[in-house]
Amino acid sequence: GAGVSQTPSNKVTEKGKYVELRCDPISGHTALYWYRQSLGQGPEFLIYFQGTGAADDSGLPNDRFFAVRPEGSVSTLKIQRTERGDSAVYLCASSFGGPIEAFFGQGTRLTVV
């Protein structure tokens, strides 16, 4: 596609539920990043994929968060037992490799009620 696509654009879920957020990177981009952005803050790094493997998952806050990229393209961020503190905009970015010229998607606004 023309840009990084994230779905859904908005997600409201109840505390304790499981959610999946999807990212479609720019075609041909091998690097994919997930970030979380709270109101008035900069993007907070969660995980970085190079191809199918997680090159760096040091930003995942706890074991409720997990991400996959099985075919090296689409990625899914999975959050178990959601908490109100998980409410934020989840951003995905992709690039041809590493952080150089990483392009962001529009984000998924997650609200846990």
Partner 1 sequence: GENVEQHPSTLSVQEGDSAVIKCTYSDSASNYFPWYKQELGKRPQLIIDIRSNVGEKKDQRIAVTLNKTAKHFSLHITETQPEDSAVYFCAASTVGSQGNLIFGKGTKLSVKP
Q: Which stretch binds partner 1 (CB under 8 A): 11-19, 20-28, 73-81, 94-102?
A: 94-102
User: Closest approach of Cβ 80 to partner 1, in Å?
Assistant: 23
- What is the C-alpha separation between 18 and 112, in angstroms, rounded? 10
Point out which span in 13-21, 65-73, 80-88, 95-103 binds partner 1 (CB under 8 A).
95-103
93, 105 Cβ separation under 8 angstroms: yes
- Which positions from 11 through 50 interact with partner 1, judged by CB under 8 A? 31, 33, 35, 40-45, 48, 50
Cβ neighbourhood burial of 101 (10 Å; 0-12, 13-18, 19+): exposed
In whole angstroms, give the CA distance from residue 34 to residue 48. 7
Q: Which residues bind partner 1 (CB under 8 A)?
A: 4, 31, 33, 35, 40-45, 48, 50, 55-56, 58-59, 91, 93, 98-107
